[in-house]
Structure 1
Amino acid sequence: MTIMPNSMEGRDMAYQMHPNVNLRKYEKSGGLVIESGDGIYVFDSHGKRYIEGMAGLWSVALGFGEKRLAEVAKAQMEKLPYYHTFSYKTHGPSIDLAEMLIKIAPVPMSKVHFTSSGSEANDLAVKMVWYRSNALGKKDKKKIISRIKGYHGVTIASGSLTGLPRNHESFDLPLDRMLHTSCPSYVHFGLEGENEADFTKRILQDLEDLILKEGPDTIAAFWGEPVIGAGGVLVPPDGYWAGVQEILKKYDILLVADEVICGFGRTGKMFACETLGIAPDVLVVSKQISSSYMPLSAILMNDRFYQPIADESDRIGVFGHGYTASGHPVATAVGLENLKIIEERDLVGNVARLEAQFLAGLEELAKHPLSHSSRGIGLLGALEIKPFADGKAGDAAAAVSAACEEEGLIVRNIAEAICFCPPMIITAEQIDDMFGAVRRALDKVQAARA
């Protein structure tokens, strides 16, 4: 007879397969079990409190325990717990949320299609790019360009867009239609003696050279996060996005902006496209659209993108795509209420007002002997850690991240950086508390290596 583990941690190790871990290591070590949340804080199964410095996965804008979202979810569950948007049917919450998204979009948009995750949304957007090319009779215009270190999800198509080796290795990705151009991170890819302006000019030339090499008539779209998130919070240099858009316009290439992390206030404006002067054909959003209280994502598209797709569906007889949960009534009701709260409480303004303090705090931490540099925008930032001379890549950032957790702060280590994306409800005092925990963690790691 098998004796089942009694603790929550033991049961998790026994039964659940986790994403983004070393599975064999997890079988031995287990993980942190989070039991509850309140505001910017979460509590583990032993009652320890943590500042959630990553808003979960870049996503819990309103913090944890927002009763209005729970009440809306309950009311919608009781009224209409589920209905679909297939076959000429719909329901009120999806209609209302689509209308709101069109109204607040950073550039004129025509239609909204709902999905349940950022990966799913980017995957569908890829399919629609190909569908549109076929509608226009451009059978060879199917290739898509994204960036090294960019992150767009983990489905077969969105994982191919992603420019991170860990999401490709042993999965037979990327697909051969997916191309990757230079990453716009001067701190990581600037050449010795190259200033930021020259770096920008060089990587823009890399993009144009790739288009010309492959043939402009074969390139359908360019995919990019306004600020690269899961690649390590990489803020593009001045002039980068203006240059990208000039090149895409020159060669009639669509622009898809992935605001899954940046959207709904994270950069101090409702959308990062506004912050950075980007006018996309397609806008992909998720995460903060519902503060991740419900799985929800959306694709916003302009008329230039939508009309050929509509024509093709008319020619064929149907747009042959759909998900069971597309526009789920509970998810869209929660998303609508979430966006109302963001507006009512001026949380976008809160981000803008706290940005200077947040970035200054990161800059101060960058003076620590273990630190290399800092970067950020709005309430999205990273502290680059100096690699250990006797360690493997990423060991130093992992050690600091683990020490932060000991100090009651959850961050995320990516390559040589620890990253921050706190809930947008955070206060000035709580930012100081968060960075105080980082300072203690840095000192602890330094002392352990002395």
Structure 2
Amino acid sequence: MRNFEHAAVWEADRDHFIHPYADFANFKAEGSQIITEANGVHILDSTGRKYLDGIAGLWCVNVGHGREEIANAVSSQIMKMQYYNPFGHSTNVPAAILARELASLTPGTLNHVFYSTGGSTANDAAIRIVHYYFNQLGKPNKKKIISRIDGYHGATYVAANLTGIHATKIGFDAIGRDLIHHVSAADTYRGGDGRSDEEYCDFLVDEFERRILQLGPDNVAAFIAEPIMGAGGVLVAPQGYHSRMHQICKKYDMLYIADEVVTAFGRLGEWFSSEALFGHVPDILILAKGITSGYIPLGATILSDAVHDVISQPQCVDGVFTMGFTYSGHPVACAAALETIDIMKRENMLDHVRNVGPHLQAYAKKLLRHEIVGDVRGSHLMLGIDLVSNRQNKEGFPASSHAADVVFARCKENGVIIRPIGNRIVVSPPLILSKTDCETIVDVLDDAISAATQTLQN
């Protein structure tokens, strides 16, 4: 029966499910691995094989798989009231209480929550709100948004164009070419060019300011950045970078959007990292993923009092704020988020990450013994590894070698799931993992890189 079920699901998936980031060169022949169960830090596939989930689903299953508390909260809310529309002046209990909870946890005056269904839609909403904000202030020319090369902000049309990862754009159209502009990633490994961290930070801040002046300060509305780049390769900026970029934004009457879809809800040992770790309070904060620990889709765009004071004024006689989603503030998703936050508080999860995260970072440094490992970096439970064909010039392997995929395959054989991205490997496990789990991930990577070295160098 298991084999029959596996075959039927495999065929249905191959024939009908269009996957994000599908490799159509081999998808029809290889199909998909079918994940059937998950518990704690482990997942199981349809063959019964068990894996340590080293990527927390996709940066999101922070409190671990199979939490009955969240299942019960979701079930209870469904039986009580699964949905009613949030338009106009109608609300529901979980959405209202979660908004208050988020306002109490976020720094500064980030007190106003606009709900969506994920990070992409939360970022799209942020850009639309930014434009509306400056229109309300009588500054309709302030429209341009500055993002960063290698930044990732989503897959909807605007968010995909905010994203600065070149490989995500091949074959797709770009929109808003005059609207969205990119500056350098804060990549201390590949971008420093022999500068000290202080000098490199000066370079990046100066580049940003020069770009604003080039575009015209009266035309530039906002800057968007992840505190630590996720899909771009776990890129950690030099110290002081974010606070200085924030200062430049204030100098030119721009809004700072912090995309904390990955870094929020404990991945760096804090509820939110912008102020606690990077020394600034953004004007807009973007949340998703860990807000429900991946149990149900939910996104949030959180606005400061100053931004909300402007957009909450009627734009005309009888005017209303004409943007929103059918599922804004969905009660079931908000119930899942409230229970996720309660679990994190009850289990002192932030303290756990502050204890376990540095162990993962320190233990992973042993991977530098491999000739094809150029850099190992990260913070707490975000880990990035660069694979290189030449350590001296930091040259990566050609795309045809599928360098990180080779390592991924070996890790998978040995029961650990990591994420391959070109010449980079990303690790982002559930926050509940132990130090022993950390060592397991790194030890399996160590073996996989050893096995892959000869293949990649031939």
Alignment of 1:421-436 (within 5 A): 421-436=428-443
Measured in 2, the distance between the counterparts of 1:137 and 1:402 equals: 55
1:263 corresponds in structure 2 to: 264
3-state SS of paired residue (2:214): helix
Q: Secondary structure at the match of 1:350?
A: helix
Mark the CA change 1:394 to 1:102 in structure 2 (over 3 Å): closer, same or farther: farther
User: Any idea what the Cα deviations from partners look like across 1:40-59, whole Å, max 9, x if unmatched?
Assistant: 00001101111110001100
Residue in 2 aligned with 1:181?
A: 183
Match of 2:386 among 384, 388, 393: 384
What corresponds to 1:437 in structure 2?
Answer: 444
| Matching residue of 1:114 | 115
- Aligned-pair CA distance for 1:186: 1.5
Assess, with a 3 A threshold, how the Cα gap between structure 1 residues 424 and 7 changes in structure 2: closer, same or farther: same
**C-alpha distance in 2, partners of 1:390/1:420?**
20
Contact 2:151–2:225 (Cα < 8 Å) also in 1:
yes
Aligned counterpart, 1:25: 26
| Contact map agreement 1:17 1:23 (CA 8 A) in 2 | no
Q: Within 1, Cα distance between the matches of 2:26 and 2:307?
A: 45
Which amino acid in 2 is paired with 1:20?
Y
Deviation track 1:363-397 (CA, whole Å, cap 9, x = no partner) reads 11122233111001111111111238874367222
Matched, 1:419 2:421: no
Which among 367, 370, 376 is matched to residue 365 of structure 1? 367
Once the two structures are overlaid, the 10-residue window that deviates more, 357-366 or 15-24, is: 15-24
What does the per-residue CA deviation read over 1:209-263, in whole Å, with 9 as the maximum and x for residues that have no partner? Answer: 0000000010011101011111111011112112211211111110010000000
Q: Name 1:242's counterpart in structure 2.
A: 243
> Which string of whole-angstrom CA distances, capped at 9 and with x for unpartnered residues, describes residues 27-68 of structure 1?
221121111001000001101111110001100001110000
Structure 2 distance, partners of 1:287, 1:228, is: 15
**Is contact 1:257–1:282 with CA below 8 Å preserved after alignment?**
yes
- Describe the superposition over 1:341-368 as per-residue Cα deviations: whole angstroms up to 9, x where unpaired: 0111011111101122111122111222
- Given residue 380 of structure 2, which amino acid in structure 1 is its aligned partner? G
SS in 2 for 1:201: helix
**What's the secondary structure of 2:208's corresponding residue?**
helix
State which of 279, 297, 300 in structure 1 corresponds to 2:302. Answer: 300
- Conserved 8 A contact 2:243-2:280: yes
Q: How does 1:95-244 map to 2 (within 5 A)?
A: 95-176=96-177, 177-191=179-193, 193-244=194-245
1:347 to 349, 360, 373: 349
Question: Which secondary structure does the structure 1 equivalent of 2:301 belong to?
Answer: strand
Superposition map of 1:306-345 within 5 A: 306-313=308-315, 315=317, 317-345=319-347
Aligned to 2:393: none
Q: Is the 8 A contact 2:292 2:333 kept in 1?
A: yes
Distance, in Å, in 2 between the alignment partners of 1:422 and 1:76 is: 29
Greater alpha carbon shift after TM alignment, 13-22 vs 285-294: 13-22
Distance 1:312 1:170 in 2: 41
Q: Deviations over 1:255-292 (max 9, x none)?
A: 01000000011111111111111210000000000001
**Pairwise CA RMSD:** 1.8
Deviation at 1:415, TM superposition (A): 2.9
Report the AA paired with residue 135 of structure 1: Q
Conservation of the 8 A alpha-carbon contact between 1:184 and 1:236: yes
| Mapped partners of 2:126, 2:181: distance in 1 | 16
Give the AA of the match of 2:218: D
* Partner residue of 1:399 out of 386, 406, 417: 406
- Matched to 1:325, the amino acid is Y
1:390 and 1:438 mapped to 2: Cα distance? 18
Contact 1:366-1:384 within 8 A present in 2 as well: no
Q: Percent identity between the aligned chains? A: 34
Residue 54 of structure 1: aligned partner: 55
Determine the C-alpha separation between the residues in 1 that align with 2:398 and 2:68: 46
What are the equivalent positions in structure 2 for 1:75-90 lying under 5 Å apart? 75-90=76-91
**Is residue 397–residue 423 contact of structure 2 (8 Å, CA) maintained in 1?**
no
CA distance in 2, matches of 1:312, 1:216: 27
- With the length of structure 2 as denominator, give the TM-score of the two structures: 0.94
Distance change >3 Å, CA 270–CA 62, structure 1 → 2: same
Q: If the length of structure 1 is used for normalisation, what is the TM-score?
A: 0.95
CA distance in structure 2 between the partners assigned to 1:209 and 1:300 by the alignment: 29
Q: For residues 394-417 of structure 1, give each alpha carbon's deviation from its aligned partner in whole angstroms, at most 9, with x where no partner exists.
A: 722221112111111111112311
Q: Aligned AA for 1:439?
A: D
SS in 2 for 1:187: coil
